[in-house]
Copies of this chain bind each other. A is one copy, B any other.
Amino acid sequence: MSTANYGDIIEVTAPADFHVHLRDGELSRLVTPHVHKGGFYLAYVMPNLVPPITTTEMAIEYKKRLKEYSGSSKVEFLMTLYLSDALHPNDVKNWKAAGIVGVKSYPRGVTTNSDEGIESYDKYDELFKAMEVHGIVLNLHGEIPSDHSKNICVLNAEERFLPVLANLANKYPKLRIVLEHATTAAAINAVKVCGDNVACTITAHHLSLTVDDWAGQSFHFCKPVAKFPDDRRALQEAIKSGNKKFFLGSDSAPHPSLSKSTATSTSGCAAGVYTSPILLPLVAHLLDSFGAIDRLADFTSNFGRGFYQIPADSDAPKVFVEKVQGVSVQAEYSSEGKTVVPFWANRQIEWQIVNIKE
């Protein structure tokens, strides 16, 4: 089956989102339950809070809050630390026991709350070697900061980063590395030619958007920005091909609706697209749209779990989605004065969750 018919049902075991922003405070209370609402049982949680998560204690406390907000005891939260000088190689051996699975690297200044990001990886040599030994994953926001003197801007920031990825993969052959939220054909190709220690997440929204969609439309603006139509096609083909290196990380990134909908002449809108509450149906819809619906379970669970060595248990929850004539995406989600607007608000999705066996 490459394109589904109405009434077709697909089963996914314990869907896993290997890149999600669950924020903190009231916004976190609003959005954390949406992981489960969107059909997911594993959330790989980004550490870019203010201040960022840089210690095991902070990660443990954050995870406790997320479990409290989750609304489902079945959702697993995998924690990450924010790559910075605050991380010490000697501590790495304690991370797994504390629920920390990876370390996230943000290049300086190119995404939300990444001012503490880094530019050179040389100084993390000891850290990365310890991560290799203890099986901690390195998650890369793969963009070079803009530098107009070198013609670097948001459009080629990812492509210019790819040599750095290749170098890291060669230098640390046992370090598992994930290039996050790939947006270009160049990134897909770079990941393919790396060894098996390198994988790549793809978001739902980058399967849908091109630059035409965010030009003048702040709700579709995110980092990395969506690129050319041929880049989008390369992401789709990577999934369609069934290459196990490519799996879902939604990069679902909620912002208060006002910070998305309004700009002043001196301050633009927040970067991020919010997909958590509709994630599994949305991904099914998109894969179906380009003839890859048969890859749904691999893309949303099996491949990511395989790379992270976190297979679903035999008694893991199973989620069933059905192709239907169309379900409207809710216009917004609100709680305690916070409002977030999901991707494709008021639009129709042709898939919905029809059954869950927990």
Residues 209 to 233 of chain A near chain B (Cβ within 8 Å): 210-212, 214-219, 221, 225, 228-230, 232
In the complex the two chains form, is B346's CB within 8 Å of A265's CB? yes
Taken together as a complex, chains A and B put the C-alpha atoms of A262 and B219 apart, in Å, by 11
Taken together as a complex, chains A and B put the C-alpha atoms of A66 and B91 apart, in Å, by 72
Q: For A217, what are the chain B residues with a Cβ–Cβ distance below 8 Å?
A: 263, 268-269
Mask, A268-298, CB within 8 Å of B = 1, is 1111000000000000000000000000000
Taken together as a complex, chains A and B put the C-alpha atoms of A344 and B268 apart, in Å, by 13
- Picked from B152, B211, B345, the residue with its CB within 8 Å of the CB of A265 is B345
Q: For A212, what are the chain B residues with a Cβ–Cβ distance below 8 Å?
A: 146, 148, 153-154
Given contacts A154-B212, A211-B155, is CB(A346)–CB(B266) below 8 Å? Answer: yes
Which chain B residue has the least Cβ–Cβ distance from A331?
B265
In the complex the two chains form, is B218's CB within 8 Å of A148's CB? no
Which chain B residue has the least Cβ–Cβ distance from A225?
B215
Q: For A211, what are the chain B residues with a Cβ–Cβ distance below 8 Å?
A: 153-155
Tell me, yes or no, whether A151 is within 8 Å of chain B by CB.
Answer: yes
Taken together as a complex, chains A and B put the C-alpha atoms of A345 and B148 apart, in Å, by 23
Residues 179 to 219 of chain A near chain B (Cβ within 8 Å): 210-212, 214-219
In the complex the two chains form, is B230's CB within 8 Å of A221's CB? no
Q: For A314, what are the chain B residues with a Cβ–Cβ distance below 8 Å?
A: none
In the complex the two chains form, is A218's CB within 8 Å of B219's CB? no
Q: For A346, what are the chain B residues with a Cβ–Cβ distance below 8 Å?
A: 265-266
In the complex the two chains form, is B151's CB within 8 Å of A266's CB? no
Q: For A146, what are the chain B residues with a Cβ–Cβ distance below 8 Å?
A: 212
Tell me, yes or no, whether A261 is within 8 Å of chain B by CB.
Answer: yes
Interface centre among A149, A156, A216, A264, by most B CB within 10 Å? A216
Which chain B residue has the least Cβ–Cβ distance from A156?
B228
Interface size on A, residues (CB 8 A): 41
* A225 nearest CB across to chain B (Å): 6
Q: A155-B155, A216-B218 are in contact. List 9 more A-B contacts (CB 8 A).
A: A148-B212, A151-B228, A151-B229, A214-B215, A216-B221, A216-B263, A216-B270, A219-B263, A266-B346
* A349 nearest CB across to chain B (Å): 14
- Picked from B155, B221, B266, the residue with its CB within 8 Å of the CB of A228 is B155
Which chain B residue has the least Cβ–Cβ distance from A269?
B216
Tell me, yes or no, whether A75 is within 8 Å of chain B by CB.
Answer: no
Taken together as a complex, chains A and B put the C-alpha atoms of A345 and B154 apart, in Å, by 24
Q: For A229, what are the chain B residues with a Cβ–Cβ distance below 8 Å?
A: 148-149, 151-153
Which chain B residue has the least Cβ–Cβ distance from A149?
B229
Given contacts A155-B211, A211-B153, A228-B153, is CB(A266)–CB(B345) below 8 Å? Answer: yes
Taken together as a complex, chains A and B put the C-alpha atoms of A210 and B148 apart, in Å, by 9
In the complex the two chains form, is A263's CB within 8 Å of B261's CB? yes
Q: For A140, what are the chain B residues with a Cβ–Cβ distance below 8 Å?
A: none
